[in-house]
Structure 1
Amino acid sequence: MSEVARRRFLQGAGALGVAGVLGAGSASASSRYHWLSGDHHTHTQYSYDGMYTIEQQVRGALRHGTDWLVITDHGHASHEAHSVEATAADLRKAQQKFPQLLLWHGMEWNVPGAEHATVFFEDCRDEAGLLRDFERQFDWRLNGAEASTPANEKKALDAIRFLQAKIRNGTMKSALVFVNHPMRNGRVAPHELRAMRDLAPDIVVGMEAAPGAQGDGDPVRGPGGHRGGYANSPGSNSYAAYPAEAYRTYGGFDWMTAKLGGVWDSLLAEGRGWWITSNSDSHFNSRDTIVRVPEPGGQFDLTGKHLDPVDAGPPQVLPPYVDFFPCEFSRTVVGATRRTRGGVMEGLRAGRAWVSHGGLVDDLRFTAHGAGGVETMGGRLRVRRGSDVTVLVKVRLATRPNSAGFVPRLRRLDLIKGAVSGPASTESLSTPHVKVERSYEPRWHYAVFTHTFRNVRDPFYVRLRGTDGNRGAFEPQADAPGAANPWEDLWCYTNPIFVEVR
């Protein structure tokens, strides 16, 4: 969206008189941010299971409107031995060639006792050296700490302490960690999420609401595909209390996020800032014309790099082409106070973000207003007991064809309210005090909705979700193996706003 279109969208509520009702702050609560689309989970030829050069990945991201991007190649013995400096050199070239893209050198960490997480830094003096040091010490592919044991879970916390120490001694300004595809194998337990977040709430800030590999459910691939690759059953390292239903996606989203009153809501009900993102996990992108070339045996193991792929002409749809380019299908839109890497990281850390699939909406703003204050996603609005709180929702519906060639239609937005009830069991998987407070059916290109909570007595949070309603139900439905075309079931979600009562 152009800046002119953004400004007009932000002024839309005022034109309808909403700003007059809520006060002057309503127009500025979201408009003071740069809303930037991006992806913190992507792979290149420096991943054992990847293919693209960094420039190819960057060009693909830019074609789909990406503002910020983190390269997160897998932790691996050959990666640690050979790939880190080579990746850094290619990234420097890409940063010089494409200055319009905010670009990071991160990694996908094999978390001891769990599965995967994104790790990346801000203003690090020796980014490549620190990534290698972190990988060597704390990646389970290198140190054998894969099993879900208390000792390995402690090692994961030691890794977070390592990052904290590097921030304290000035090696870097900040770091972020997001848990990736949490229920793909069910190997990150609720107590692990809580322990990492409580140890370092400014570093471990959230999880992927939806996995990448969304094209895996496309029927063109045959009967075995599952959106996100969520085709697994509990294994020896899985958390035993997760039900069988947890190992599937729901409208492409992870069970932890999609289940109303589920794991995500249980964390929010404790008052924890635990934020969601949505990413491509790009390895081989569906219907792309770029293909891997034949390689000598042991190519990656010996060099930490696959050979440069080539453009073969015909689009690729069969395995392993199950991903999308960054922001082609999935995007995380972050409110940044400045268009810098630090600005994006601060916005992610604050939870100032919403996520969407398939271009379901062009823009989405969400604020809460009380006497003397206004907050947007990730914020905490403080009000006096007995006062009113008004929620303002502004959505700009899609007007352009998405990558599949059609203009999606948002048929319903749900305003979800959950009670903040305080600490619960570290193993909690659910909370009962969550409901759809109100639903909206957008009918115009620009839609503005309000809802007022009267005589507020207790703390709560609010969040939004939206759907195209194509499956005939407005509650997320489990994706069927081999019959889950990602373009036919689109959703969007926002991070919550907390309301604290004095």
Structure 2
Amino acid sequence: MSPKKLLIPSAIAIMLAVVACGGDNEPVNTTPPLPAGRWIAGDLHTHTTQSADADVSQTLDKVLSKGFTSYGLDWMAVTNHLRVSTRDDQGATLAAQIPMSLGVERYETPRIQELQAGGTYADKLIFSGVEWDMPTHDHIGVALMDGGAKGLKEFEYLFTTRDAAMFDAADVAAWKAKYGETRYNKTAADALQAFTWLKTNYPDTSYAVINHPSRNKGSYTIADFRAFNDAAPNIMFAIEGMVGNQMEPDRGGYTAAYTDDNALLRVYGGVDYVVAKLGGPWDALLGEGRHIWNLTDSDTHFKIVGGNSSGYFPGEYAKNYVFNSGTGKPAAKDLLAGLRSGKMFSVYGDLINALDFNLSTKDDRKEMGGELKVAGGDKVTITIRFKTPAKNNYEKPVDSGTAANLKPVVDHVDLIVGDVGAKATPGSAAYSVATNASTRVVKRFTAADWKVDADGYYSVTYETMASKNQYFRLRGTNLGVDVAGLTANGEPLADQRTGTTDNTQRFNDINDRNYRSLWFYSNPVFVTLR
């Protein structure tokens, strides 16, 4: 008997997909194999003590240790507010406030380089970004992944109201030689100019993604999202739909009054209305074929300090998984390519930690973010395979170091479909439409539907016939379809405020609330008739 061979997950998937052909007239399955690689987990939205609204104890060292050592992340963007900085990376008060770009140059970058050179995080990808207060709007996560301090300083000068005297005089002279006295820091047109600037100066190494889009009333319209994406589709390619600050009494820090007219300003299972609403704004954007993806982040400022709680640490509750073809330390260019590709999923509470979601015909296969081109009437096979970890990071009591040893269990996975039509034209009525009426749950899968494969993945397939341009995406949860106060007919309900008076009890109630309500969202796969 020949020795058994170790099969990697992609090899097993290939075996399952191959069709044995017994005769000359039978079609040969030429579907390409699944690519080799791994899921790398990370966070694009974190704060340290250099942000004035973060706790003084939230040092860079602490944030990195929590994310990488405690919670197993592979990559992280440090994204302090693009405002004045009053503290260094260790929380010491500066003699005078400085622009955040200078704070990154003086304190953040050298300390990151020191830790990585010393071997502490040699295998981790760490880079600096910022959270920008966009004129007339809200917060945008921006990074120039190879721009260094020079590019970030120019961005801060151009697109904030920072006093020019705070920058180096020689830099200001050079910027004025390029732009005259013009700065873009007041109007919606100025905000839009930033996307053009990034596309012009850092087309292959930058991003600008929307943070907590509905937290503040009037921050954005869907026309804004379309305009940002039209201006720079490879720069504005994502929305932080699964928001951070999950330890707030108002989940996600969404504090608008609980009235009917504020329904759009709530989170639903911790997810912003933009993404959580079936047939809502995200589906409207996908319904134009736009490559705009969903993200999650910690938005960490502190967890529990005194009588206040804010958010979990990086990787503790929220994770983005991006597929990476390498096996060693991820490179910045590869992470950005993965983010742009859409081959990623986002999750709360480690509900899942791997996801193979693909659509295939007999001769092609596309994964999340991809486009499967088919002929009308072609059979399309939808494959869903996911893994769950042995336990998540739930502690009871909260922040005690005592693991609750809770294994997350997926109750059901929704396969969601929506039609894809023409891209809306700027200035047209369609440009302001924030719904996609065709979006629906086409199939709800439970444990009765899936099986466990040899590699530990839960797997299920579904077949459909291609008849129009569409996209398919997934949403999964540990909740049943009708859980009082949490779900109705499978749809997440608006999260209610956790207002327990006693501080310690409130912190525990918030933590219990969050781990009771876990979700994951995939990015879509598009089907286009050729």
Q: TM-score range by the shorter chain?
A: 0.7 to 0.9
Deviations 1:282-315 (A, max 9, x none): 11024xxxxxxxxxxxxxxxxxxxxxxxxxxxxx
| Aligned-partner residue type, residue 128 of structure 2 | H
Which residue number corresponds to residue 419 of structure 1? 419
Query: Which protein has the larger Cα radius of gyration, Structure 1 or Structure 2?
Result: 2
- The answer as to 2:287 corresponding to 1:269 is yes
Partner of 1:56: 62
CA separation of 1:7/1:139 partners in 2, compared to 1, >3 Å: closer, same or farther? Answer: farther
Aligned equivalents of 2:208 and 2:67: distance in 1? Answer: 22
Q: Is 1:461 aligned to 2:471, yes or no? A: yes
Change (3 A) 1:10 1:476: farther
1:403-482 to structure 2, matched below 5 A, reads 403-404=394-395, 405=404, 406-424=406-424, 425-442=430-447, 444=452, 446-454=457-465, 456-469=466-479, 472=483, 473=487, 474-482=490-498
Instruction: Return the letter of the residue paired with 1:202.
Output: N
| C-alpha contact 1:112 1:140 (8 A) present in aligned 2 | no
Q: Deviations over 1:391-448 (max 9, x none)?
A: 1110112322433321111000010010002234221111100111111113656311
Is 1:131–2:152 an aligned residue pair? yes
Amino acid at match of 1:403: Y
Which letter maps to 1:476? Answer: P
- Cα separation, partners in 2 of 1:449 and 1:111, compared to 1, 3 Å: same
1:77-476 → structure 2 map (5 Å cutoff): 77-78=84-85, 79-80=98-99, 82-85=102-105, 86-96=107-117, 97-124=120-147, 127-139=148-160, 152-167=187-202, 173-186=204-217, 187-216=219-248, 225-232=249-256, 243-286=261-304, 318-319=307-308, 321-338=309-326, 339-404=330-395, 405=404, 406-424=406-424, 425-442=430-447, 444=452, 446-454=457-465, 456-469=466-479, 472=483, 473=487, 474-476=490-492
Helix, strand or coil at the partner of 1:178: strand
For the structure 1 residues 110 and 7, does the alpha-carbon distance in structure 2 shift closer, same or farther, using more than 3 Å as the test? farther
**Once structures 1 and 2 are overlaid, which stretch shifts more, 90-99 or 462-471?**
90-99
Q: Name the CA distance, whole Å, in 2 between partners of 1:177 and 1:142.
A: 23
TM-score by length of 1: 0.82
| Contact 2:99–2:162 under 8 Å retained in 1 | no
Q: Deviations over 1:82-104 (max 9, x none)?
A: 51322222222233231111011
- When normalised by structure 2's length, the TM-score is 0.77
- Unaligned 5+ residue runs, structure 2? 1-5, 21-27, 86-97, 165-183, 396-403, 425-429, 500-509
| Structure 1 contact 213–228 (Cα < 8 Å) conserved | yes
Alpha-carbon distance change, 457 to 430 in structure 1, aligned in 2, over 3 angstroms: same
Distance 1:208 1:7 in 2: 36
Partner SS state of residue 45, structure 2: strand
Distance 1:264 1:198, change over 3 A: same
Contact 1:284 1:322 (8 Å CA) reproduced: yes
Structure 2 distance, partners of 1:374, 1:174, is 28
Find the counterpart in structure 1 of residue 522 from structure 2: 494
Letter in 2 for 1:328: E
Task: Judge conservation of contact 2:269–2:517 (CA < 8 Å) in 1.
Answer: yes
Q: Deviations over 1:262-282 (max 9, x none)?
A: 000000001111101100001
- Compared with structure 1, are the counterparts of its residues 7 and 64 closer, same or farther at alpha carbon in structure 2 (3 Å cutoff)? farther
Aligned pair in 2 of structure 1 residues 458, 68: CA closer, same or farther (>3 Å)? same
Deviations 1:330-384 (A, max 9, x none): 0000012343111111010111110000011121110110242111100111112
CA RMSD of aligned residues (A): 2.5
Q: Give structure 1 stretches of 5+ with no counterpart.
A: 1-5, 144-148, 217-224, 235-241, 287-315
Structure 2: distance between partners of 1:33 and 1:317: 43
Please report how far the alpha carbon of residue 7 of structure 1 lies from its aligned counterpart in structure 2 after TM superposition: 6.5
SS in 2 for 1:46: coil
2:3 aligned partner: none
Larger RCO (alpha carbons 8 Å, 6+ apart): 1
- Measured after TM superposition, the shift of residue 475 of structure 1 is 1.2
Change (3 A) 1:11 1:440: farther
Higher mean displacement: 469-478 or 151-160: 469-478
Cα 1:400/1:142, change in 2 over 3 Å: farther
How far does the alpha carbon of each residue in 1:180-210 deviate from its partner, in whole angstroms, 9 at most, with x for none?
Answer: 0000013011111110101100111111011
Whether the 8 Å contact between 1:371 and 1:387 is mirrored in structure 2 is no
Q: CA 1:88–1:177 in structure 2 vs 1: closer, same or farther (change >3 Å)?
A: same
Percent of matched pairs sharing the same residue: 29
Aligned residues: 437
Contact 1:279–1:331, Cα closer than 8 Å, also in 2: yes
Alpha-carbon contact 2:349-2:392 (below 8 Å) kept: no
SS of 1:120's equivalent in the other structure is strand
Whether the aligned pair in 2 keeps the contact of 1:278 and 1:355 (CA below 8 Å) is: yes
